Amino acid sequence: MTPTTETMVGIGGAAESTDMVLNIGPQHPSTHGVLRLRLVLDGERITRAEPVIGYMHRGAEKLFEARDYRQIIMLANRHDWLSAFSNELGVVLAVERMLGMEVPERAVWTRTLLAELNRVLNHLMFLGSYPLELGGITPIFYAFTEREELQHVMEEVSGGRMHYMFNRVGGLKEDLPAGWTSRARASVAALRSRMDRFDDLVLGNEIFRGRTRGVGVLAPETVHAYGVSGPIARASGVDFDLRRDEPYLAYGDLQDTLEVVTREEGDCLARFECLLQQTHNSLDLADACLDRLVGLPPGPINQRLPKVLKAPEGHTYAWTENPLGINGYYLVSKGEKTPYRLKLRSASYNNIQALVELLPGTLVADMVAILGSLFFVVGDIDK
C-alpha cells in the first residue's frame, strides 16, 4: 500500500473577515472643504464611520468677544462661504433684538430679497457639484453660468462678490442703486427660464437616478436625534421651516408664495429634489419681494446709530433658516461694546454628524453619493 502524504497549507488571517481602516480626505473632491472621514471597512462594506473635523477651525466664537458689534459681522459671514449674506443676517437680528430696535420697512424687504437670492446662489453650487461628484461634468458649467448672473446682481448692490458685508445693525449699508430692481428682476427671470436644465439634464438622467434612488436613506428619527435641518431634514419628511413656522423679516407677508418642499423617501435623490424645488421657490419669493419694494414709498434703509454701540446687559437667541439649515445665535451681553459671548449653532455641524448613522452598512461606492447629498460646507462645521 502506497503511504499517504498530507500537506498543510497555512493561509493565515486571509480566510477570515478582516477590517480595514480607510481615510477619506482630509482633501477630497466631495467634501467642500478640509474634512476627513475615518471609515472601517469589511471588504467593500462600511461597518463604522467617523467624521473627523477641526481642520479649518479658526476660533470665530472666541474672536467675537474681542470685536465690537459692527466688526463681528465680518467674522460671522465667512463660516459658510456660500451663504455670506444669510450668515450676517442672524448676527444683526440678534443684536437688534437685544437693543429692541425697529428696522425700516425698506430694509426688511431688501434683506428678505437678498437672503433669497443668496439661497439660490448656495443651492446652485450644490445642484452643479453633486452630479459632478457622481461623474456628470456638464451641470457644473451650467450652475456656474447661472451663479455668475446672480453674482453680478449681488456685487452691484453690495460691492462684495462673496462676502457681501451689506448688513448693518439697524438695517443695510446703503440704499439700492438706481435701476437695480429692474436688473435684478431680469436676472431672476433669465435664471428661471433656464432652470429646466437641472430638471431634465440631472433628474431625467437614469444613471443619476440609479446612483441616488434608495441610497443613504435618512430616517426621521435620526433627523430629530442629530438636529439635522434644512432641505436634508425636509427630504426625510420632517416638515419644518423657520420662514413659515416662526417668520422673521418679511416672511410673514409671503406665506402665499412660500412653499416648504418635503419628500418622504429620505434618500439621496429626495434630498436633491428638495434642493432643486426650493431653488424654484426662492426665485418666486425674490419676485414677490421685488414687487413689494417697487411699491414702497421712499424712506430710510437703516437706523442712525451712536458712535459707540453697546447692547444692554442680558441675553437673547435668534435663529434663521439658512440655505443649508437652521443657524442659531446665542448672544450674551454685559453692557459693553463687545459681546460677552456669542455662540453660533451652524447647520452643517449637525447635518454632517448623521454620517455616523448613514454610512454603516453601505458600500464604499455609495459613500460619495451619500456624502455629497448632505450639502455641507466644512467652514460651517468648524467655525
Confidence of residue 118 (pLDDT cuts 50, 70, 90): very high
Integer angstrom CA distances of residue 259 from 159, 278, 286, 313, 317:
31, 8, 13, 38, 26
Query: Phi and psi for 219 in degrees, rounded to 5?
Result: -75, 150
Alpha carbon 44 to chain centroid, angstroms: 31
What is the pLDDT at residue 60? 87
Q: What's the CA gap between 6 and 80, in Å, rounded? A: 67
What is the pLDDT at residue 6? 52
Using alpha carbons only, what angle is made at residue 134 by residues 380 and 354, rounded to the nearest 5 degrees?
A: 40
Q: Coil, strand or helix: which one is 191? A: helix
Q: What is the pLDDT of residues 216-268, one digit of tens each?
A: 899 999 999 999 999 999 999 999 999 999 999 999 999 999 999 999 999 99
Return the number of other C-beta atoms located less than 10 Å from residue 374's C-beta.
Answer: 26
Q: Is the pLDDT reported for residue 299 higher than 80?
A: yes
Q: Is the pLDDT reported for residue 28 higher than 80?
A: no
Q: Among 196, 195, 169, 179, which Cα is nearest to 290's?
A: 179
Q: Among 52, 133, 48, which Cα is nearest to 362's?
A: 48
Q: Is the pLDDT reported for residue 10 higher than 50?
A: no
Return the number of other C-beta atoms located less than 10 Å from residue 14's C-beta.
Answer: 7
Return the number of other C-beta atoms located less than 10 Å from residue 306's C-beta.
Answer: 6
Beta partners for residue 48, in sequence order: 40
Q: What is the pLDDT of residues 312-355, one digit of tens each?
A: 999 999 999 999 999 999 999 999 999 999 999 999 999 999 99
Using alpha carbons only, what angle is made at residue 291 by residues 288 and 294, rounded to the nearest 5 degrees?
A: 150
Q: Is the pLDDT reported for residue 14 higher than 60?
A: no
Q: Is the pLDDT reported for residue 13 higher than 50?
A: no
Q: What percent of the chain has pLDDT over 70?
A: 94
Query: Phi and psi for 332 in degrees, rounded to 5?
Result: -120, 130
What is the pLDDT at residue 1? 53
Span 153-174, mean pLDDT?
A: 91
What is the pLDDT at residue 7? 46
Length of the chain: 383
Span 116-138, mean pLDDT?
A: 92
Q: What percent of the chain has pLDDT over 90?
A: 66
* C-alpha cell at position 313: 446687559
DSSP string, 117-176: HHHHHHHHHHHHHHHHHTT--HHHHHHHHHHHHHHHHHHHHHS-SSS---EETTEESSPP
* CB-CB contact of 22 with 368 (8 Å): no
Q: Is the pLDDT reported for residue 135 higher than 60?
A: yes
What is the pLDDT at residue 12? 45
Span 116-120, mean pLDDT?
A: 95
Q: What's the CA gap between 90 and 368, in Å, rounded? A: 31
Say how many Å lie between the first and final Cα of the chain, rounded.
Answer: 80
Span 7-28, mean pLDDT?
A: 62
* CB-CB contact of 215 with 366 (8 Å): yes
Q: Is the pLDDT reported for residue 5 higher than 80?
A: no
Q: Is the pLDDT reported for residue 17 higher than 80?
A: no
The domains found in the chain, sorted by start residue, are 20-52 (no CATH), 101-308+354-381 (1.10.645.10)
Q: What is the largest CA-CA distance in the chain?
A: 113
Which regions of 204-289 does DSSP assign to beta strands (E)?
Answer: none
User: Which 8-state DSSP code applies to residue 323?
Assistant: T
What is the pLDDT at residue 133? 87
* C-alpha cell at position 114: 437678498
For residue 306, give every residue at least 6 positions away whose Cβ sits within 8 Å of its Cβ, in sequence order, or none. none
CA atoms within 13 A on the CB side of 196: 3
What is the pLDDT at residue 15? 42
* CB-CB contact of 128 with 202 (8 Å): no
Q: What's the CA gap between 180 and 224, in Å, rounded? A: 42
Q: Among 316, 314, 303, which Cα is nearest to 343's?
A: 316
Q: What is the pLDDT of residues 47-105, one digit of tens each?
A: 999 999 888 888 888 999 999 998 999 888 888 889 999 999 999 999 999 999 999 99
Return the number of other C-beta atoms located less than 10 Å from residue 5's C-beta.
Answer: 5
Confidence of residue 192 (pLDDT cuts 50, 70, 90): very high
